[in-house]
Copies of this chain bind each other. A is one copy, B any other.
Amino acid sequence: MKTTADPLPHIVVLGAGFAGLAFAQKFPAGLARLTVVDRQNHHLFQPLLYQVAAAGLAAVDIAQPTRAILRRVPNLTVLMGDVTAIDLAGKRVQHTRGELIYDYLVLALGGLTSYFGHPEWEQFAPGLKTLDDALRIRRKVLMAYEQAEAQADEARRKELMTTVVVGGGPTGVELAGTFSELARTVLRRDFDHIDPRKARVILIEGGPRVLAAFPEDLSASAQRQLEHLGVEVRLGQHVKEIRANEVEMPTGEIIRAGNIIWAAGVGAVPLTRTLGLETDRAGRLKVLPDLSLPGHPEVFATGDLAALVDANGVTVPGVAQGAMQMGAHAARLIAAELRVRERTAPDRPAFAYHDKGNMATLGRSAAVAQIGNLHFSGYPAWLAWLGLHLVFLLGFRNKISVLVQWIYSYFTYKRGARIITGVSGEKSAGSA
């Protein structure tokens, strides 16, 4: 509304995930006016989302209000709204609460769970991208044990106590490990008619090993640790079909399961396909080496919706550090241009991904970590994982709260968030 009267250029940032926040926080004050649009009122610390699903953490522990994070950034407005259309030619963004005109645009809307052309599987095998996803999975898994306790039929009981996780990437192994632990330690003594230690957790991965992005020795270690936690790991198997409480394997085998969780695919938000630009199979925008869109030097794509082989020939992975580095790169680049008041493309610096390492946690004292040429497993990797995630989690209150929960769970073998909410809401929404 105030665009024409305002002398400062206007940068619109779509999304307040890792990429969008990094941009807003790295962009030097005074050079432009920023508007950050997000459909949620909070930044979500996705790496801990699986712990909310597994009843270890409260939803609010891993989220931080976007307004609170960016409160001290001058010339910045936060808007809560859904982006509905982007007009690249007219430099306009439509969202549910109005329209924005930009001089620069930073796309950082992230990804969605992708079902590889089987959208109908979503209703039977939810994914894990948002807090609501996590709370839905928590509810379903905890409810399955409650239903099993009151169930006289042995086959149905077994089915309710079986969880299938599809996809052996970081999210998949973390979910499988923590659900196995939930049954074997946390719920162990709570029921009269069922023995939660008999619960089955099956992890299905299409490739030849879990954690394909990790070195081979760590993949093997992760698999051993998962099996030690009671997870059945099935490699080299793609699921053929998913129906209600049923996974069909290529061999024709049918696995009946009270819970099926999809952790096999992430795609960019559908909006990327509406721009008339080239995308990869997952819908990610193919960006130029500087992260800008071909033909639109004023538009940058960052994080999970950008596809890029970087200056060193590395395919930038869809992880938090990649998104943060991309956001920071775009911020530096736009700031440099605004300082000299001219567009420097095509001579802009190319983005180069700096891999700081990789970690995944599997359960209590169980993890794998790779930092440069160093490979860790088990307890040391787990400690490193805990420390790093506490450091990167935003918000002092959240850090303290998560630390308290972790210490509590470590010593008591309990989980503090074993609370089922939203049952009536689910009902009225028409699902089970």
Which residues of A are interface residues toward B (Cβ below 8 A)?
1, 40-42, 58-61, 63, 65, 67-68, 71, 77, 79-81, 97-98, 131-132, 135, 142-143, 146-147, 149-152, 189-193, 395-398, 400-401, 404-405, 408, 412, 414, 416-426, 428-430
Contacts and interface: CB of A to CB of B under 8 A. Distances in A.
A422 B425 contact: yes
Given A150-B79, A150-B81, A152-B1, A397 B422 contact: no
Contacts of A98: 150
Nearest to A430: B428
A41 B418 contact: yes
Which of A40, A71, A146 gathers the greatest number of chain B CB atoms within 10 Å?
A146
B398 A401 contact: no
Given A397-B414, A401-B404, A425-B425, A419 B81 contact: no
A190 B71 contact: yes
13 contacts: A1-B152, A41-B146, A41-B418, A58-B59, A59-B419, A63-B419, A67-B190, A68-B414, A80-B150, A98-B150, A135-B422, A397-B416, A422-B425
A41, A77, A404: most-surrounded residue (chain B CB, <10 A): A41
A398 B416 contact: yes
A334 to B, nearest CB: 21
B147 A419 contact: no
A61 B417 CA distance: 8
A223 to B, nearest CB: 32
Nearest to A403: B404
A interface secondary structure, majority: mixed
Contact of A80 (B67, B79, B146): B146
Nearest to A431: B428
Contacts of A143: 41, 80
A131 to B, nearest CB: 5
Nearest to A136: B425
A41 B418 CA distance: 8
B416 A405 contact: no
B41 A142 contact: yes
A63 B420 CA distance: 10
B190 A149 contact: no
A147 B97 contact: yes
Contacts of A425: 132, 422, 425-426, 429
A403 to B, nearest CB: 10
B65 A419 contact: yes
Contacts of A42: 418-420
B149 A41 contact: no
A77 to B, nearest CB: 5
B77 A192 contact: yes
A397 B405 contact: yes
A238 B143 CA distance: 42
A100 to B, nearest CB: 11
Contacts of A428: 429-430
A62 B36 CA distance: 34
